[in-house]
């Protein structure tokens, strides 16, 4: 087995093509084995096995920089760079991260997780190299999906005009998570279909470039003559026109050809874009046939491809179903996603109302300003984006939506701790960063039916509004709810000794803690905030005055969210209250299961109960 012996990718340099092909199939089997047990990003990783081997055969990751965009396709890189054994702990608590981490290995050039950052970071590496008179190569590997992101376009614009030596490897598998969309995708489709022309053209060009000085002049002359012809044959040659030398497209599973092309690219000056065609899910037919379903998976049966966990109803599904129903009656409702149609539960909406559904690609900032325009013209946009990806659209929310008080409904999916994807994906900051924006109403439902009620409420509010809800389903605690009123919280349990203020799915946690305290004779009042903003200072203030003791439970960072709001209230009303907060500390929370991370951060019911008993005198 080659895979067991390889210590770092420098070992690839000693291997011949046959051994590398053998290594590729061993890596595939290993990825399938581990991901089928641990879950993870399967299809993208199966698609880049040969690409990674070829790249790391030609470039030297101990000095050259390879930046993987999004980073969800870094498994082969990790396996061949000192983490073969550790790979079994992929995405597990205290195990290997599913994304590149500079803290794990010096060969991980840059941390990623969010899309479309690689070209910018690579440009930084390249410029720093030039300023320091170093000689290393810099490569950004970006997918066709990630290329739709605004940052990638901004970076191409910068790099293309810079004459900087760096290489962009475009890993084109025609897929984002779902089928890739948009004008860039159309451009790539045209390039893909011009395979033969481009390949022979490019090879000829590279041979000529080997002839010093005259070669360069010759290429310039021929290029000039060819431009008009080329523009007819390959309309728009976008990359060349913005300043890149375009190589490809090339079969991304052919190690030999890839190596040749990368070696040539190493010799060329200026920005180079290498267009590589890969198959998402390559080598595992079930994933090849369903690349979207196998983009990110939980543990599954290798034989059948069936998930081992039972699919339960989750918040995204409730959101999607409710929106379909609401849109039936209300023709003003439109839905927007940024490349996460299925993840956000909008699949059915897209099928039923294609003219009112917009997948804008990985373009969160654009999604929000686009929504602002729709809202200004009287429509009611529901924009569903994961909490951590809303970070990309902050200025648009302030400047384009809230400043003009436009009625955009911002649905924040995967809010709170998400688990195995780790630091880059935890939705812990949205309450903090939304709360300081004027004109914004922020709600979080305690259960499915409250989510539905909040969606109805949001449509009629005619103001910018956020509804945040978590990954996964309900806790199982059953509530009887009172009707929703603007800015009003809901007392879900009456008590006299302690006020427990909670929001969203943490209202269930509050009820669990209240039960545990109740067994010890401590009577808790549980308040479901419903609104983080405006906060129901009257109901909460009255409870605090009554009990003199208060805890806050929230699925977010301790700074800036509900805990901060309640401490501000205590100070403002000059209340004499003992206070403790159960939220996530001011640090980045790594990967692990939600349960493990809750225990680690002492926000599970038992830890909160024990801490309350220690801290407060009843």
Ligand X SMILES: Cc1ncc(C[n+]2csc(CCOP(=O)(O)OP(=O)(O)O)c2C)c(N)n1
Residues marked active site are found at 280, 364, 392
Contact between 175 and ligand X by CB under 6 A: the answer reads yes
Whole-number Å distance between alpha carbons of 1 and 294: 27
Q: Which whole-number Å values give the CA distances from 49 to 124, 253, 281, 294, 389, in the listed order?
A: 27, 8, 10, 16, 27
Check residue 107 for interaction with ligand X (CB under 6 A).
no
Site for ligand X in 324-383 (CB under 6 A): 338-340, 362, 364
Taking CB under 6 A as the rule, does residue 392 contact ligand X? yes
Instruction: By CB under 6 A, name the one of 114, 282, 322, 468 that touches ligand X.
Output: 114
Among 52, 57, 97, 173, binds ligand X (CB under 6 A): 173
Shortest distance, position 130 Cβ to ligand X, whole Å: 27
Closest approach of ligand X to the CB of residue 366, in Å: 12
Q: In the complex, what is the shortest distance from the CB of residue 487 to ligand X, in angstroms, rounded to a whole number?
A: 32
| CA 302, 304, 310, 311 torsion-angle sign | positive
Residue 255 CB, shortest distance to ligand X, in Å, is: 18
- Tell me the closest approach of the beta carbon of residue 171 to ligand X, in angstroms: 6
Distance of closest approach, residue 604 Cβ to ligand X, in angstroms: 28
Bond before 17 cis per omega within 30 degrees: no
CA nearest 332: which of 382, 378, 383, 401? 378
Angle between helices 255-267 and 49-58 in degrees, nearest 10: 40
> Are 107 and 62 within 8 A, CB to CB?
yes
Size of the site for ligand X (CB under 6 A): 24
Region 142-161 residues binding ligand X, contact defined as CB under 6 A: 143-146
Closest approach of ligand X to the CB of residue 379, in Å: 24
Is the Cβ of residue 359 or residue 554 nearer to ligand X in the bound state?
Answer: 359
Q: Could you tell me how many residues make up the chain?
A: 618
245-251 sheet: strands from edge to edge: 65-68, 138-143, 166-172, 271-277, 245-251
The residue among 198 and 384 lying less far from ligand X, judged by its C-beta, is: 384
Dihedral sign of CA atoms 40, 43, 47, 50 in order? positive
| C-alpha to C-alpha distance for 233 and 211, rounded to whole angstroms | 27
Taking CB under 6 A as the criterion, the residue among 9, 38, 44, 384 binding ligand X is 44
- 3-state DSSP assignment of residue 138: strand
Taking every pair of Cα atoms in the chain, the longest distance, rounded to a whole number of angstroms, is 91
In angstroms, what is the minimal distance from the CB of 343 to ligand X?
8
The distance of closest approach from Cβ of residue 66 to ligand X in the complex, given in angstroms and rounded to an integer, is 15
Residue closer to ligand X, measured from CB, 294 or 609:
294
Q: Which span (96-104, 138-146, 324-332, 506-514) binds ligand X, by CB under 6 A?
A: 138-146
Burial 317-330 (b: 16+ CB within 10 A, else e): bbbbbbbbebbeee
Residues forming a β-bridge with 385: 412
420 binds ligand X (CB under 6 A): no
| Structure tokens that stand for 278 in this block | 């890969």
Query: 464: exposed, middle or buried (C-beta count within 10 Å: 0-12, 13-18, 19+)?
Result: buried
Q: Near ligand X by CB under 6 A, which window of 66-74, 154-162, 317-325, 375-383? A: 66-74
Binders in 257-316 for ligand X, by CB under 6 A: 280
Burial of 275 (0-12, 13-18, 19+ CB in 10 A): buried
Is-cis flag, bond preceding 249, omega within 30?
yes
Contact status: 115 vs ligand X (CB under 6 A): yes
**Quick one: which segment of 80-88, 140-148, 208-216, 557-565 binds ligand X (CB under 6 A)?**
140-148
Instruction: Please report where in the chains the tokens 């910068």 appear, as a residue.
Output: 158
Q: Closer CB to ligand X, residue 264 or residue 414?
A: 414
Residue 613 near residue 520, CB atoms below 8 Å: yes
Q: Does 322 bind ligand X (CB under 6 A)?
A: no
Q: Given the complex with ligand X, which of 152 and 565 has the nearer CB atom? A: 152
For ligand X, give the closer residue by CB, 173 or 426. Answer: 173
Is 2 near ligand X (CB under 6 A)? no
315-329 helix and 448-461 helix, angle to the nearest 10 degrees: 40
Cβ closest to ligand X, residue 389 vs residue 579: 389
Distances (CA, A) of 223 to 205, 216, 231, 383: 9, 10, 11, 45
Q: Write the binding mask 67 to 106 for ligand X: x where contact by CB under 6 A, - elsewhere.
A: ---x-xx---------------------------------
User: Which of 176, 202, 420, 441 contacts ligand X by CB under 6 A?
Assistant: 176
- Interaction with ligand X in 531-550: which residues (CB under 6 A)? none
Select the span of 78-86, 137-145, 202-210, 481-489 touching ligand X (CB under 6 A).
137-145
Select the residue interacting with ligand X from 177, 265, 350, 409 (CB under 6 A). 177
Least distance CB 280 / ligand X (angstroms)? 6
Four-point Cα dihedral 173, 176, 181, 185, nearest 10: -30
Q: Is the distance from CB of 191 to CB of 199 less than 8 angstroms?
A: no
Return the number of the residue (149 or 407) whose C-beta is nearest ligand X.
Answer: 149
Nearer CB in complex with ligand X: 70/255: 70
Nearer to ligand X, 153 or 403 (CB): 153
Least distance (Å) from ligand X to the CB of residue 163?
26
Phi and psi based region of residue 462 (left: phi greater than 0; alpha: psi -120 to 50; beta: remaining): left
Alpha helices in 391-505 (DSSP H): 394-395, 430-435, 448-461
Cβ proximity to ligand X, 415 vs 459, nearer residue: 415
**Which residues on neighbouring strands pair with residue 168, listed in sequence order?**
140, 273
- Measured between alpha carbons, how far is 59 from 158 in angstroms, rounded to an integer? 24
Alpha carbon of 618 to those of 514, 517, 549, 551: distances in Å? Answer: 14, 11, 9, 14
CB of 183 to ligand X, least distance (A): 15
Using left for φ > 0, alpha for ψ between -120 and 50, and beta otherwise, residue 557 falls in beta
Residue 478: helix, strand or coil by DSSP? coil
Q: Which of 389, 390, 457, 469 binds ligand X (CB under 6 A)?
A: 389
Nearer to ligand X, 252 or 407 (CB): 252
Separation CA 563–CA 580 (nearest Å): 9
3-state SS, residue 456: helix
Chain positions contacting ligand X, by CB under 6 A:
44, 47, 70, 72-73, 114-115, 143-146, 171, 173, 175-177, 280, 338-340, 362, 364, 389, 392
């Amino acid at each position: 087995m080659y895979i067991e012996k390889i210590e770092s990718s420098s070992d690839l340099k000693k291997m011949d093509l046959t051994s590398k092909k053998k290594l590729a199939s061993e890596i595939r089997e290993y990825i399938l084995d581990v991901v089928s047990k641990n879950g993870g990003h399967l299809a993208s990783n199966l698609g880049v096995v040969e690409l990674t081997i070829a790249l790391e055969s030609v470039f030297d990751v101990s000095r050259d920089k390879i930046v993987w965009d999004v980073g969800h396709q870094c498994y082969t890189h990790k396996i061949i760079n000192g983490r073969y054994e550790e790979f079994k702990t992929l995405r597990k608590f205290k195990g290997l991260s599913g994304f590149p981490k500079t803290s794990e290995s010096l060969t991980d050039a840059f941390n990623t997780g969010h899309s479309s950052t690689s070209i910018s970071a690579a440009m930084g590496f390249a410029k720093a190299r030039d300023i320091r008179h170093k000689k290393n190569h810099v490569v950004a590997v970006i997918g066709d999906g990630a290329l739709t992101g605004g940052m990638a376009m901004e970076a191409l614009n910068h790099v293309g005009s810079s004459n900087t030596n760096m290489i962009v490897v475009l890993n084109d598998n025609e897929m984002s998570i779902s089928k890739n969309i948009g004008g860039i995708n159309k451009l790539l489709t045209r390039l893909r279909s011009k395979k033969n022309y481009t390949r022979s053209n490019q090879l000829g060009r590279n041979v000529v470039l080997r002839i010093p000085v005259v070669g360069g002049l010759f290429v310039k002359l021929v290029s000039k003559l060819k431009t008009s012809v080329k523009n007819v044959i390959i309309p728009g040659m976008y990359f060349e026109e913005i300043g890149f030398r375009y190589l490809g497209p090339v079969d991304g599973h052919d190690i030999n050809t890839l190596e040749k092309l990368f070696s040539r690219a190493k010799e060329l000056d200026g920005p180079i874009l290498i267009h590589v065609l890969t198959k998402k899910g390559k080598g595992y037919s079930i994933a090849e046939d369903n690349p979207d379903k196998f983009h990110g998976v939980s543990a599954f049966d290798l034989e059948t491809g069936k998930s081992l966990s039972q699919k339960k109803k989750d918040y995204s599904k409730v959101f999607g179903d409710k929106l379909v129903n609401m849109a039936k009656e209300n023709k003003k409702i439109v839905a927007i996603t940024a490349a996460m149609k299925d993840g956000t539960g909008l699949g059915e909406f897209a099928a039923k109302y294609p003219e009112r559904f917009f997948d804008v690609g990985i373009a969160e900032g654009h999604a929000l300003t686009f929504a602002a325009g729709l809202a200004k013209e009287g429509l009611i946009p529901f924009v569903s984006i994961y909490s951590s990806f809303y970070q990309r659209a902050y200025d648009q929310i302030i400047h384009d939506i809230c400043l003009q008080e436009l009625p955009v409904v911002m649905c924040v999916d995967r809010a709170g701790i998400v688990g195995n994807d780790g630091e880059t994906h935890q939705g812990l900051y949205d309450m903090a960063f939304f709360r300081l924006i004027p004109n914004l109403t922020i709600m979080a439902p305690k259960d499915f039916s409250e989510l539905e009620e909040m969606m109805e409420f949001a449509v009629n509010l005619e103001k910018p509004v956020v509804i945040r809800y978590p990954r996964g389903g309900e806790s199982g605690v059953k509530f009887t709810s009172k009707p929703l009123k603007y800015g009003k919280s809901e007392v879900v349990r009456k008590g006299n000794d302690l006020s427990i203020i909670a929001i969203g799915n943490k209202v269930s946690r509050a009820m669990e803690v209240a039960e545990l305290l109740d067994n010890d004779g401590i009577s808790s009042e549980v308040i479901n905030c419903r609104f983080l903003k405006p906060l129901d200072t009257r109901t909460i203030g009255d409870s605090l005055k009554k009990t003199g003791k208060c805890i806050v439970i929230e699925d977010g960072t301790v700074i800036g969210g509900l805990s901060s709001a309640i401490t501000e209230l205590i100070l403002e009303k000059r209340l004499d209250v003992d206070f403790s907060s159960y939220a996530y500390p001011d640090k980045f929370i790594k990967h692990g299961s939600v349960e493990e991370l809750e225990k680690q951060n002492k926000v599970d019911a038992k830890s909160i109960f024990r801490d309350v008993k220690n801290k407060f005198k009843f």
